[in-house]
Chains A and B, each alone.
Chain A
């Protein structure tokens, strides 16, 4: 895959290398976004609905983490997982789990902050009615999440987009090893460095197509729900 045409030929012919890269990209994106949503939705909902000492400071810290540079997240995970690091014995460096952990650090704060804002924006209107109905806490959370589902879908897509487009952290802890940790963004970077701009652009278009498909599916469900 060195030219624009060769990438599209590989895409259409079902070339193993390209589809391995695509598969790993999808796998990494789903895992890192999935874990971030699993942890971030409840954390955001909890922060929106509860008061506790240090809440304001925690909010500021998490907001700041939204701007965490990917290379800093990558460096942190690299040090954590390197042979002499605290988790070095797990031998996770330059593997898919390392890439997922690094992306989790980047996506989790985004999910928490956006979930918190989404729920807070509706909470005032909903909370009085929920209080007067005397609903159990778990039902309150479920209703709150249901009422904010469109906002949460946007949160999900934002997390997905961040994961799909991220390159710095993934490069540092994944290493762009062919057949093992090479994903679309690191492959684009490699082709650019080699001067194969046509191939890099073609890979970029394939990545965009993937993003378009995911957004189209999500929007389809949203529109169907509106109708």
Chain B
């Protein structure tokens, strides 16, 4: 399906590619994003790469705002998800749309699955305000993954996780994606995460797509290209961590 510029697209058939046109954002007279056309294929996992301020979050915002579907089939995890001052269980439950009409037993079962998969069972009764940054990020991920969704937009979902948390999140995501064959767009600075979870990459620079293609392209970028510079810098930063 294809949408018209600046209109919301209502997705009904998730087996067809989604094409969005005129993805443009101007802020105080400066173009922060300008992508004439973007096509996302069903089941594909895209890594959205780029330096800070390259337009990744703006693109994620636009994508999630322009696409809509019934009953939470499109999930968006923003870069700074809000953790409500409720128990972790109730925070995750907010991710189950009322429109699904699920019985309580099934909601409970979905909740338990997520608590276990992201190793949050011991924290299920803890209040949102008491969580560490990493725990909050795992909780926010669990809230998005609590129901099967056909499209996922994840904006730096693992940026605050330690190695242990990262492994848990990656395992949960991998299993979720293979079970639901979901399309995923993952904005990240962690190149190793992008390589492990994604099969396509989109490289943004100053609001434009400079490179796009299989994730294996990250291994041999054109010499002296912006992508090559970005990768060298990010490699350096990641190895320092």
Chain B 97-117, CB within 8 Å of chain A: the 1/0 string? 110000000000000000000
In the complex, the answer to whether B72 meets A125 with C-beta atoms within 8 Å is: no
Q: Does more than half of chain A's interface fall in helix, strand or loop, or is it mixed? A: helix
Q: Which of A9-17, A35-43, A62-70, A128-136 contacts B (4 or more CB under 8 A)?
A: A128-136
Which residue of chain B is the closest to A125 with respect to CB atoms? Answer: B82
Chain A 152-168, CB within 8 Å of chain B: the 1/0 string? 00000000000000000
Q: A132-B64, A132-B76, A133-B143 are in contact. Are A126 and B98 (CB under 8 A)?
A: no
In the complex, the answer to whether A129 meets B72 with C-beta atoms within 8 Å is: no
In the bound complex, residues from chain A placing their C-beta under 8 Å from that of B98 are: 136
Q: With contacts defined as CB atoms under 8 Å apart, how many contacts are there between chain A and chain B in the complex?
A: 31
> Is B84 in the interface zone, CB < 8 Å from A?
yes
Which residue of chain B is the closest to A150 with respect to CB atoms? Answer: B85
> Is B78 in the interface zone, CB < 8 Å from A?
yes
CA distance A129 to B77 in the complex (A): 8
CA distance A130 to B84 in the complex (A): 10
Select one of B80, B95, B143 contacting A125, CB under 8 A: B80
Select one of B82, B86, B143 contacting A126, CB under 8 A: B82
Given A126-B84, A135-B94, A147-B85, 7 new contacts (CB under 8 A): A125-B80, A125-B82, A129-B78, A129-B82, A132-B77, A132-B78, A134-B97
**B residues engaging A (CB < 8 A)?**
64, 72, 75-78, 80-82, 84-86, 94-95, 97-98, 143
**A residues engaging B (CB < 8 A)?**
125-126, 128-130, 132-136, 143, 146-147
